[in-house]
């Protein structure tokens, strides 16, 4: 918390500077210093209580142009601070170079994913409401259809607006063996949006599934949204009768709106293109 002193220090400093007359400054009819630039007073008369009763003093004050300057500097400092916060949130997230640069503008739009892009944008732009309703998303579809990239676009959109987002995966969370789960969960739940990438890739031991359930359930109880990405199909998830899995999935379905990522896998499309290019180069 900022102390009272920290809050008024810049004002006191600026006012003390303001007491030194500069070229163009003049003294008005009441004997007070006036700024030559903006024409407002750089000094005020004040009555202070002393042991011998009230004493009138002349004290430095900020004229309008200096006050504006101080506000600009203060806003600048605040902006830099905010940028640092966003940078550190990004660093904590599980994002590689490609994902750090993921934005809606860099989204490769195809006939298959235009709907998904529109939906992700709408979710990000309406995040305040999504947060209030505790509404998450479940991105499901084949490997390489852009689910993680789409989630990172939402993360970066929100991070740029100083909304706290943590992007991680159960694989990563479960590998943090010596971490106290309670603490880990508390830290994650401070984020307004949690993104859990690649649900279903984690180990399926009783112990691991118990921890996954605890994380999902605590997020559910904290009433804050989650976006999951998964290669599991809706049939896999809904049809799973093993209670160790189904209680996890049931929670997820309660929290998350399912979004299908269809279409040709980008990685496959890329490989096909390379194949065609190579074929043309070698054989034609």
Q: How far is the CB of 66 from Zn ion (least distance, A)?
A: 5
Question: Binding Zn ion by CB under 5 A: which of 65, 119, 131, 269?
Answer: 65
Closest residue by Cα to residue 251 from 269, 274, 282, 225? 225
Report phi then psi at 62, rounded to 5: -90, 125
Q: Which is nearer to Zn ion, 65 or 234 (CB)?
A: 65
Report the residue number whose CB is nearest to Zn ion.
Answer: 35
Residues 25-54 that bind Zn ion (CB under 5 A): 35, 37-38
Could you give the CA distance from residue 90 to residue 165 in angstroms, rounded to a whole number?
8
Q: Which is nearer to Zn ion, 39 or 239 (CB)?
A: 39
Report if residue 63 touches Zn ion, rule: CB under 5 A.
Answer: yes
- Tell me the two tokens of residue 216: 């999902």
Task: Please give the size of the binding site for Zn ion, defined by CB under 5 A.
Answer: 5
Q: Which is nearer to Zn ion, 58 or 131 (CB)?
A: 58
Residues 244-263 that bind Zn ion (CB under 5 A): none
Q: Which is nearer to Zn ion, 37 or 192 (CB)?
A: 37
Q: How far is the CB of 43 from Zn ion (least distance, A)?
A: 12
Q: Which long-range contacts (CB under 8 A, 24 or more apart) does 70-74 make?
A: 70/10, 70/11, 70/14, 73/10, 74/10
Query: What is the dihedral angle through the alpha carbons of 75, 81, 82, 88, rounded to the nearest 10 degrees?
Result: 170
Q: Residues 6 or more apart from 261 whose CB is under 8 A from it?
A: 113, 116, 139, 140, 141, 142, 145, 146, 147, 150
Q: Which is nearer to Zn ion, 69 or 96 (CB)?
A: 69
Residues that bind Zn ion in the complex, under the rule CB under 5 A: 35, 37-38, 63, 65
């Amino acid at each position: 918390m900022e102390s009272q002193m920290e809050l008024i220090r810049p004002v006191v400093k600026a006012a003390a500077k303001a007491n030194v007359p500069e070229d163009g400054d003049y003294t008005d009819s009441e004997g007070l210093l006036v700024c030559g630039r903006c024409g407002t007073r750089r000094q005020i008369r004040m009555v202070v209580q002393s042991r011998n009763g009230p004493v009138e003093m002349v004290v430095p004050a900020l004229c309008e142009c200096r006050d504006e300057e101080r506000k600009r500097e203060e806003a600048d400092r605040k902006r830099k601070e905010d940028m640092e916060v966003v940078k550190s949130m990004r660093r904590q997230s599980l994002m590689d170079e490609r994902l750090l640069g993921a934005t809606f503008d860099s989204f490769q739009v195809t006939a298959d994913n235009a709907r998904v892009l529109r939906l992700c944008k709408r979710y990000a732009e309406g995040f305040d409401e999504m947060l209030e309703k505790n509404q998450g998303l479940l991105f499901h579809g084949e490997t390489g259809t852009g689910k993680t990239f789409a989630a990172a676009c939402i993360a970066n959109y929100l991070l740029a607006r100083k909304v706290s987002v943590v992007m991680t995966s159960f694989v990563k969370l479960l590998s943090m063996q010596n971490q106290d789960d309670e603490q880990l969960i508390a830290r994650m739940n401070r984020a307004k949006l949690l993104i859990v990438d690649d649900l279903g890739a984690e180990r399926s031991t009783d112990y691991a599934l118990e921890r996954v359930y605890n994380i999902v359930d605590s997020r559910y109880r904290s009433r804050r949204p989650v976006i999951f990405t998964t290669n599991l199909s809706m049939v896999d998830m809904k049809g799973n009768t093993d209670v160790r899995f189904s209680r996890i999935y049931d929670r997820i379905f309660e929290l998350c709106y399912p979004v299908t990522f269809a279409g040709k896998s980008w990685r496959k499309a890329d490989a096909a293109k390379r194949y065609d290019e190579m074929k043309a180069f070698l054989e034609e």
